[in-house]
Structure 1
Amino acid sequence: MASHAPASPFARFVHSEAFAGLLLVCTAVIAFVWANSPAQGAYAALRDTHLAVSVGGARLDLSLEHWVNDGLMAVFFLLVGLEIKRELLIGELASRRRATLAIAAAAGGMLVPGGMYALLNAGGPGVDGWGVPMATDIAFALGVLALLGSRIPLGLKVFLTALAIVDDLGAVLVIALFYTSDLNLGALALAALTWGAALLAGRRGVSSLKVYGVLGVVLWLLVLQSGLHATIAGVLLALAVPIRKPDPAGYLTSLTDAARPGREEEVGARLRDLEDLLERAQSPLHRLEHALHPVVTFAVLPVFALMNAGVTVGAGGLGTVSLGVVLGLLLGKPLGVVGGAWLAVRAGVASLPRRVTWRHMVGAGILAGIGFTMSLFVSNLAFETGALLTQAKLGVLIASVLAAVLGGGWLLLVTRNRGSGAGMSAPGTVAPPPAP
């Protein structure tokens, strides 16, 4: 069967994220098997390998694991920040009702899992991991939806994307506010000045990505020294990159003139010129986002998975930390997501997307329990080393696999009779959530 390119930018995005999810799964499996094989010593040695960078009298010496978690993941957070800004200004979150639904669902999907974990681990050594089960991995979640094909309403894919983006924003705030070390006020002040320079460049419409690249490296180094987690620099830089784009109306007029009788031979050349112009006319935010997406998909996230999914089972085993993470992601996520969305719809401030029912929303809530990338990242912040970190990562891996299987299975069951209209409500109607 002949294949063809997806028809819309959103469809291309979903297609790319599906592949990213598959790549993450493969890399995580390799890391897990490697860490529990006779060659586990080589795996540990790889993570502990130190790389040093010297510029003048300054020297930065970090292990390979820290370079990945503090350096490469800053690029991931830069992409997350760009996506958040785009969605807020011109995307799905620019619509008040859609944004309200995603925000309410994401808030419930963070508060309920975090609360469940905190209650289970209250007073124990693992209480600091309450932020671990709050995140959603968009690549995995959309990957599962892509496997189900056209039986899934487009509105559900859009909702899950918006939910994950709001969820990422919440995770960034949690990291910045609760998972930081002692602050270096001098470095923090210099970081603020650097961010101010980036914001000023964005306000003045500076379109050169090299300017933002240089400011971004300086900002990352200063945030790293400040006590905030270095990846926050990626989100801060994203907020400065402008999204405005120039108006190519003059070239469109030129193309129209070329299409007049007697000048048809110029049309092909002008079309190629216009194509080049539209490529250049993209805003700095769009250009940077498009440039980073394959880098993050094919390099940053797989390398992160390789460095962090290698959990040695015998080192810490399972405990209340693992149980809290699993219950938070598998039970707390769907309860929080569906509950938050239902309250928003019930209050009349939001509505379900077209052709999306509450049964679909339950499936989305279950898939939101796939916390892989961000949950593993927060695990590293909550528990730097030791058995508790192992328990947290095992909980994340177990819950993410189960959420993918259960969420996909639920949606497959719900949509198996979609042609007969079973389980579908009329557009604009609000049905109550299914009874437990």
Structure 2
Amino acid sequence: MYRVWNFLTDYSLLLIIGAVTALIWANTDPSGYHHFVEMPLWGNEYIGVHYDHWAQAWGEGAAAILPDHPHRVLTLHYLVNDMLMAFFFAIAGKEVWEAVALESGSLRGKKSLTPLIATSGGMFGPIAVYLGLAAIMGSETYDAVANGWAIPTATDIAFSYLVGRMIFGAGHPAVRFLLLLAIADDAAGLIILAIFYPSGDLAPVWLLFSFGSAAAVYLLANWLPRRLDRGNQARPNSTWMREKLGFWPYAVAGAACWFGFAQSGIHPALGLLPIVATIPHADRAFGIFAAAEEHLTDLLNHIEHILKHPVEVILLFFGLMNAGVEFSSMGDATWLVLAGLLIGKPVGILFMGWLAAHPMGLGLPQGMRTVDLLIIGCIAAIGFTVSLFIATVAFDAGPVRDAAKMGALFSFAAAAVSFVVAAVIGVEKQES
């Protein structure tokens, strides 16, 4: 049983199981699935979607279920997408933080320039294809789908990494290049979500409350104990904080930070990101998905290991909450998302990667060919998790959102395209 669980979590199969279950359910019992997703858990004044929005989404009978008309409704969909997914984005943020902040971080120095420039191609290429084709389809289509321009910019790190290893082998430099590109893509995606897809009107005071909570826990639980321990190798204050309080100060500050984000208008799923940088961390990173990090004892990596399996379960429910789209919902947004991913990603990454490596003279990792950039671009076109998430916040509930979700789900086709392109081009696998 333990081996089965590890297999499911290591390859993010729980997310696929959730998505497939949602697709089957939505196409066999759409009403039952819809009411499951919008199930009200708690009518209150502070957390959840506005009552009117929920009542419209639920449909007939909403007033009978919540007759007291609360200001907000905590639904199952909100619990998963806006609250629990904060842990998923926190782990992604942890990888970005280590890659940027640590001296050995993979996104520091000249070695990261070519992947970073290639990432820009993987962002702007899909946007250009998505909006360009939408404009060709006419102003009515363009106006309906324009807000989804960021959906095809996303790259699903876990599935891209899996496909990259299967094509290139674990030891190929193209796999490390792909991971650098994917984590930079995630960083850009977090910025896009925060700036372009707010959950409401911006309230700067609440945002200051969030960052104030992060600053307070950093000063009191991280900086001050280390300051008091200066010159004392026994580090009694830092040790006391770790042994007696552990992660609890950061959990309390994280809850406050999340609530501030929820009230500020920034999407609350990003609410734990400011806390990540405040947690004591190792002096070096071994790389994204590096097995060696399991042996690190710093609090940040310890928390990540605690969250690893719960987050996989959260992804199961994320797939279940968001992938339930009827096949009849396919429309213009479906094909625009797919075109952005399957055309814009590979072309953008190939062109900008080539530009950085050759005309700009930054080069590629030893053992990696320019043509490998095309394969990497095809692999990076697997948008899935983050594309699906952006689709849910880019559009209101309705046919356009459902069509865009279908495009995000169909981006799995990029894996098959990657294998075909790799077979045509020819790749020599390197397992170590």
**TM-score, reference length from structure 1:** 0.77
In structure 2, what is the Cα distance between the partners aligned to 1:64 and 1:236? 25
Equivalent residues in 2 for 1:5-154, closer than 5 Å: 19-20=11-12, 22-37=13-28, 39-52=29-42, 61-88=73-100, 89-91=102-104, 93-122=106-135, 123=139, 124-148=143-167, 150=169, 153-154=171-172
In structure 2, what is the Cα distance between the partners aligned to 1:338 and 1:17? 31
Q: Please list the CA deviations of residues 135-163 of structure 1 after superposition, one character each: whole Å capped at 9, or x if unmatched.
A: 0001111222344473x643111111111
Per the alignment, in what secondary structure is the counterpart of residue 381 of structure 2?
A: coil
Equivalent residues in 2 for 1:333-372, closer than 5 Å: 333-348=345-360, 350-372=362-384
Q: Does 1:403 align with 2:414?
A: yes
Per the alignment, in what secondary structure is the counterpart of residue 51 of structure 1?
A: strand
Greater C-alpha radius of gyration:
1
In structure 1, what is the Cα distance between the partners aligned to 2:280 and 2:396? 36
Q: Does 1:164 align with 2:182?
A: yes
Identity of aligned residues (%): 31
Per the alignment, in what secondary structure is the counterpart of residue 62 of structure 1?
A: strand
Aligned AA (2:322)? N
Q: Where does structure 1 differ by over 6 angstroms across 4 or more consecutive aligned residues?
A: 278-281
In structure 1, what is the Cα distance between the partners aligned to 2:82 and 2:276? 17
Equivalent residues in 2 for 1:377-388, closer than 5 Å: 377-388=389-400
Deviation at 1:386, TM superposition (A): 0.6
In structure 2, what is the Cα distance between the partners aligned to 1:348 and 1:59? 50
In structure 2, what is the Cα distance between the partners aligned to 1:131 and 1:380? 12
Q: 1:283 to 1:16 in 2, by over 3 A?
A: farther
Aligned AA (1:214)? V
Q: Between 115-124 and 226-235, report the one with greater CA deviation.
A: 115-124
1:304 is matched with: 318
Match of 1:394 among 406, 414, 424: 406
Equivalent residues in 2 for 1:186-225, closer than 5 Å: 186-200=205-219, 201-204=221-224, 207=242, 208-225=246-263
Deviation at 1:349, TM superposition (A): 5.4
Aligned AA (1:291)? I
2:233 is matched with: none
In structure 2, what is the Cα distance between the partners aligned to 1:53 and 1:222? 19
Deviation at 1:202, TM superposition (A): 4.0
In structure 1, what is the Cα distance between the partners aligned to 2:16 and 2:34? 20
Q: 1:340 to 1:232 in 2, by over 3 A?
A: same
Q: Work out whether residues 154 and 387 of structure 2, in 8 Å CA contact, stay in contact via their aligned partners in 1.
A: yes
Q: Please list the CA deviations of residues 179-222 of structure 1 after superposition, one character each: whole Å capped at 9, or x if unmatched.
A: 11211233223223112213434444565311111100111011
Aligned AA (2:38)? D
Q: How many residue pairs align between the two structures? A: 367
In structure 2, what is the Cα distance between the partners aligned to 1:405 and 1:281? 36
Q: CA RMSD in A?
A: 2.8
2:287 is matched with: none
Q: 1:199 to 1:117 in 2, by over 3 A?
A: farther
Deviation at 1:342, TM superposition (A): 1.3
Q: Work out whether residues 17 and 142 of structure 1, in 8 Å CA contact, stay in contact via their aligned partners in 2.
A: no
Deviation at 1:97, TM superposition (A): 2.8
Q: Does 1:284 align with 2:299?
A: yes
Q: Work out whether residues 153 and 387 of structure 2, in 8 Å CA contact, stay in contact via their aligned partners in 1.
A: yes
1:230 is matched with: 268
In structure 2, what is the Cα distance between the partners aligned to 1:216 and 1:370? 31
1:313 is matched with: 327
Aligned AA (1:310)? G
Equivalent residues in 2 for 1:258-273, closer than 5 Å: none
Q: Work out whether residues 96 and 184 of structure 2, in 8 Å CA contact, stay in contact via their aligned partners in 1.
A: yes
Q: Work out whether residues 79 and 289 of structure 1, in 8 Å CA contact, stay in contact via their aligned partners in 2.
A: yes
Aligned AA (2:326)? T
Deviation at 1:409, TM superposition (A): 2.6
Q: 1:413 to 1:26 in 2, by over 3 A?
A: farther
Aligned AA (2:247)? L
In structure 2, what is the Cα distance between the partners aligned to 1:340 and 1:302? 35
In structure 2, what is the Cα distance between the partners aligned to 1:348 and 1:135? 26
Q: Work out whether residues 114 and 363 of structure 2, in 8 Å CA contact, stay in contact via their aligned partners in 1.
A: yes
Deviation at 1:344, TM superposition (A): 1.3
**TM-score, reference length from structure 2:** 0.78
Aligned AA (2:17)? C
